[in-house]
Homo-oligomer: A and B are copies of this chain.
């Protein structure tokens, strides 16, 4: 199952508005267009004559064992893609041995999702009314989330290139906000999101915090200084500030600045095992994928999600083996230039 046919097939089964909602970027969509190309621009340098009879993709993220370094990025409103929404995503992710980062803008209750999930982390938007966010964080901790992923690149939602999105169907309900007016600034992302929010959420739940949306070494350090335990290098799927440095370009700077202090993950345009290999060779502990999971969900529910993840994991295992690399820990800087 390759990238282009997957998206094309999903597009064929999704209502056009929903497809556009998932596929769109912000601004002129430069970042959206740049990401894959930026991975491809890095050339691989395979090792030879290594015994690759047993290649493993198994690793740990914040101490949690996963069968694959390909994790599921948070994305909103899975109910638009499939009636079972995030419950199906959680099921497929668990079956693939991966880890789900559940969006706070989910269609289903986090408790329902948790019941179906393997290991999972809760993505957090810090809202104007901190109480709403804190409530989600507490519920997530109670439901077994192993970490909070605090999105730090959305002080507010960027504008889309062709104005506001089409009206979403009634299924587009954000469970965490149920009963509240999404146009009320209290229930929108907080423009004064700051280091203190990271500290508070961490203290509130006792969970490790992952800062998502980092593109600079100094800003990564700033997140760690605020209490974050890990960072995700991310361009938010090309949906926030348009024209930012592509993740593969930002990644080595962040890895160098963070050193051994924390794990670094990366997302953005990762569509093949050779992309995963490049990311790990550049120092990422794991990667996250967003849209491919949505396409799999749209096409086949939990099974579709599992297939997409299994396929990427198999493609990663192949890339490892062909590069003479036997495990995520074995993926070194020498493999890429």
- Chain B nearest CB from A224 CB (Å) reads 12
Interface: A64 (CB within 8 A): no
- Chain B nearest CB from A44 CB (Å) reads 5
B-chain residues with CB within 8 Å of residue A218 when the two chains form the complex? 334
Interface: A287 (CB within 8 A): no
- Interchain CA distance A52-B192 in the complex, whole Å: 6
B-chain residues with CB within 8 Å of residue A159 when the two chains form the complex? 315, 318
Interface: A51 (CB within 8 A): yes
- Chain B nearest CB from A248 CB (Å) reads 12
B-chain residues with CB within 8 Å of residue A49 when the two chains form the complex? 152, 193-195, 198, 219, 222-223, 226
A153-B322 CB under 8 A given contacts A28-B2, A272-B27, A274-B242: yes
- Interchain CA distance A30-B43 in the complex, whole Å: 10
- Which of B47, B158, B219, B243 has a CB less than 8 Å from the CB of A48? B219
Considering only residues 291-337 of chain A, those with a C-beta below 8 Å from chain B are 315, 318-319, 321-324, 334, 337
Contact across chains for B43 and A241 when beta carbons are under 8 A apart: no
B-chain residues with CB within 8 Å of residue A155 when the two chains form the complex? 50, 52, 321-322, 324
Contact across chains for A191 and B43 when beta carbons are under 8 A apart: no
- Interchain CA distance A49-B155 in the complex, whole Å: 8
B-chain residues with CB within 8 Å of residue A198 when the two chains form the complex? 49
Contact across chains for B45 and A244 when beta carbons are under 8 A apart: yes
Among residues of B, the one whose C-beta sits closest to the C-beta of A253 is B45
Considering only residues 62-80 of chain A, those with a C-beta below 8 Å from chain B are none
Contact across chains for B315 and A241 when beta carbons are under 8 A apart: no
Number of copies: 4
B-chain residues with CB within 8 Å of residue A42 when the two chains form the complex? 243
Among residues of B, the one whose C-beta sits closest to the C-beta of A45 is B216
Among residues of B, the one whose C-beta sits closest to the C-beta of A245 is B43
Interface: A257 (CB within 8 A): no
Among residues of B, the one whose C-beta sits closest to the C-beta of A322 is B241
- Which of B191, B222, B319 has a CB less than 8 Å from the CB of A53? B191
- Interchain CA distance A323-B30 in the complex, whole Å: 16
- Interchain CA distance A272-B241 in the complex, whole Å: 12
B-chain residues with CB within 8 Å of residue A258 when the two chains form the complex? none
A243-B43 CB under 8 A given contacts A28-B272, A194-B49: yes
- Interchain CA distance A150-B223 in the complex, whole Å: 48
- Residue of A244, A274, A337 with most partner-chain B CB within 10 A: A274
Among residues of B, the one whose C-beta sits closest to the C-beta of A250 is B45
- Which of B43, B222, B278 has a CB less than 8 Å from the CB of A246? B43
Among residues of B, the one whose C-beta sits closest to the C-beta of A152 is B48
Interface: A208 (CB within 8 A): no
Considering only residues 229-251 of chain A, those with a C-beta below 8 Å from chain B are 240-246, 249-250
Interface: A129 (CB within 8 A): no
A53-B191, A158-B322, A159-B318 known, 16 other contacts, Cβ within 8 Å? A2-B162, A28-B272, A44-B244, A46-B215, A46-B216, A46-B241, A48-B152, A49-B195, A51-B194, A52-B192, A155-B321, A158-B318, A241-B274, A241-B323, A242-B272, A243-B278
